[in-house]
Amino acid sequence: MRLCLYNGHRVGVVTSEHGLVDVTAAVPGWSDDPLSDFFVRLCRDFDSAKAQLEAEARRGEEIPLTAVRLGPPVLNPSKVVAVAMNYAAHRAEMEGRADRSNLGWRMEFDVFLKAPSSIVGPEDTVELPDVGDNEIHHEGELAFVVGTGGRDIAAADALDHVVGYTTMIDITVRGPGDRSRRKSYDTFSPTGPHLVTGDEIGDPQALTIDLSVGGETRQHVDTKDMLVSVREIIAYASSIMTLVPGDVFCTGAPPGVGPIVPGDVMRTEIDRIGVMEIPVVARTAAGPDGEALP
């Protein structure tokens, strides 16, 4: 099943390349309050809600995707867990850039946190803050969302804790300073276009990630080349912090990271998940799209 959130936080099932069916009426406890926890509970209870959602999707009429505005297919996660240094070729390119100082611990695999408020959707824009001479880079990554939470999850059981997969571009200011700050500016986590449930993805290590800027391929990688698999990421992260339903993970930058500037359009594609095209603009005084932030 391909789930999406649209027109605020209505819930849709994407039923074809062109359309979705509104299944909001079948979502337990749904509310249009942006602080609602219905989505977190839907992630936790997805297995029991699935039949009801499928029935609603069969009953409803398809709405053209061109007639709606998709939001990010995640809502109010307790955290965004990001992975550093998960492809050998990315590690090598960063070692090549390490001209100013020894990056030390920053060259090692680990997990860190991005602010959930940095998440935007597949029809939003990335707004670049003024960071002086530092570059701001794209990192097109496989992302996944936690269904059943837990602590000390065994790698063997880990995929049972994933409700679905999506795409995230982990936008990053290069240069000195803490990783969580450099990756947590508003709009720095475009996520989407849909949340594709695990049964439709199968093996998360058998996907291909592409990211292009202005039609030029920048990143192209097979997820089998991850140094630490999705299963092992979950085992490691859950040995540190309790995973909560709805938590979002991004699984590390493929090689080919590079700068983005206002006017660029990033296009990212992961097979079986979909495509996002995200324009890049300069940050303005107002929030994303000029709307007041909650």
Question: Which spans of this chain sit near Mn ion (rule: CB under 5 A)?
Answer: 139, 170, 253
State the nearest-atom distance from the C-beta of 65 to Mn ion, in Å. Answer: 28
Least separation in angstroms between CB 169 and Mn ion:
9
Asked if 276 and 167 count as a contact pair (C-beta separation under 8 A), the reply is: yes
Q: Which is nearer to Mn ion, 160 or 269 (CB)?
A: 269
Closer residue to Mn ion in complex, CB, 75/83: 83
The least distance separating Mn ion from the CB of residue 148, rounded to whole angstroms, comes to 25
Instruction: Give whichever of 94 and 146 is closer to Mn ion, judged by the CB atom.
Output: 94
Q: Which residues of 262-287 are buried (b: 16+ CB within 10 A; e: fewer)?
A: eebebbbbbeebbebebebeebeeee
Which one, 112 or 206, has the nearer CB to Mn ion?
Answer: 112
Nearest approach, Cβ of residue 183 and Mn ion (Å): 7
CA separation (Å) from 294 to 35, 171, 282, 287?
Answer: 9, 22, 21, 10
CB 13 within 8 A of CB 51: no
Residue among 54 and 135 whose Cβ is closer to Mn ion: 135
Least Å from the CB of residue 151 to Mn ion: 24
Q: What's the token pair of residue 76? A: 């109010």
Query: Is the distance from CB of 16 to CB of 61 less than 8 angstroms?
Result: no
With tokens 């063997």, the residue in question is: 156
Shortest Å, Cβ 108 to Mn ion: 14
For residue 204, count other CB atoms closer than 10 A to its CB: 22
What does the alpha-carbon distance between residue 103 and residue 14 come to, in Å, rounded to a whole number? 43
Residue whose token pair is 């209870």: 45
Q: How far is the CB of 48 from Mn ion (least distance, A)?
A: 33
Q: Compare residues 42 and 207 and give the one whose CB is closer to Mn ion.
A: 207
Nearer to Mn ion, 253 or 273 (CB): 253
Q: What is the largest CA-CA distance in the chain?
A: 60
Report the first-to-last Cα separation within the chain, whole angstroms. 30
